[in-house]
Amino acid sequence: MIDTIVVSGGNIQEDFALDFLKKTEEKQGKMPYLIAADKGLEFFLHTGICPDMAVGDFDSLSDEGEEFLKSLENTEICRLRPEKDDSDTQSAVCRAAERGGKNIVLFGCLGTRLDHTFANMGLLVWGQQRGIRVSIYDRYNYITMIESGTVLKRKEQFGKYVSFFSMGGDVSGLTLKGFKYPLNCHYLTVSDCGLTVSNEISEEEAEVTFDSGNLVMIMSRD
């Protein structure tokens, strides 16, 4: 169950995000805890949704965003110093973890700032090391760390294409079953990750196993 959604300040397709929130609430019977990370507060301004928490130094808010921040009466505000050792998104994820979040979804974490994108990808590993699932979504991509033995169902997949990359070191013994391009005990390095791009699930269920390492999965659609 998704317990927390963090909205950051990158590219957000509002219609996709709103539909995701609606479907999640309908499926789970309640809305997840909503956190605005700095400029991500603009999403809540535009959609009329009230976040449960807002985290950041808020130096990138528009004038309308500043007024909206001041108007929030039932939102916990965590104002950070501009000079700090982590990003606003990381601070928001840490707040989510502190309040017991175990399945955290991030919106607005992909965009034109590649440095922020890389930092946000690192949060997936940060979560995995603490037993927390952190996932990134936008209209075209679903990104998350996976464990060995993960079974993917074709009827539930996010997009047509499934890619795998090593994170923070090599992945040994990578085996892909039920895919268009299977693998058997492959040693995956960062330099040969082109081998595992744009695969497809070919059977009703596909399985991913590996012996060691950190493996990130990206499901994509055009």
Per-chain mean pLDDT for the chain: 94
DSSP, collapsed to helix, strand or coil, labels residue 65 as helix
Domains of the chain are: 4-139 (3.40.50.10240), 145-220 (3.40.50.10240)
What percent of the chain has a predicted confidence (pLDDT) above 70? 99
User: What band does 113 get if pLDDT is binned at 50, 70 and 90?
Assistant: confident
What percent of the chain has a predicted confidence (pLDDT) above 90? 84
Q: Is 155 left (phi over 0), alpha (psi -120 to 50) or beta?
A: alpha
Residues written for the chain:
222
User: For 20, which DSSP code?
Assistant: H
Tens digit of pLDDT for each residue in 144-186?
999 999 999 999 999 999 999 999 889 999 999 999 999 999 9
* Rounded Cα distance, 208 and 18, in Å: 31
Q: What is the pTM of this model?
A: 0.93
Tens digit of pLDDT for each residue in 34-44?
999 999 999 99
Distances (CA, A) of 97 to 51, 92, 103, 129, 144: 17, 9, 9, 12, 17
Q: How confident is the model over 192-219, as a mean pLDDT?
A: 95
pLDDT at 82 over 90: no
Q: Do the beta carbons of residue 163 and residue 141 sit within 8 Å?
A: no
Distances (CA, A) of 126 to 4, 5, 55, 97, 101: 16, 16, 19, 11, 13
pLDDT at 48 over 90: yes
* Rounded Cα distance, 58 and 39, in Å: 7
Q: How confident is the model over 51-65, as a mean pLDDT?
A: 92
Per-residue model confidence (pLDDT) at position 89? 93
| Alpha-helical regions (H) of the chain | 14-28, 41-47, 63-71, 88-98, 114-128
Other CB atoms within 10 A of residue 64 CB? 11
DSSP for 154-202, please give it: GGG-SSSEEEEEE-SS-EEEEEEESBSS-EEEEEE-GGGGGGGSSB-B-
Q: How confident is the model over 38-65, as a mean pLDDT?
A: 93
pLDDT at 84 over 70: no
29 versus 85: the higher-pLDDT residue is 29
User: What band does 85 get if pLDDT is binned at 50, 70 and 90?
Assistant: low
Per-residue model confidence (pLDDT) at position 60? 85
List the beta bridge partners of residue 216.
145, 165
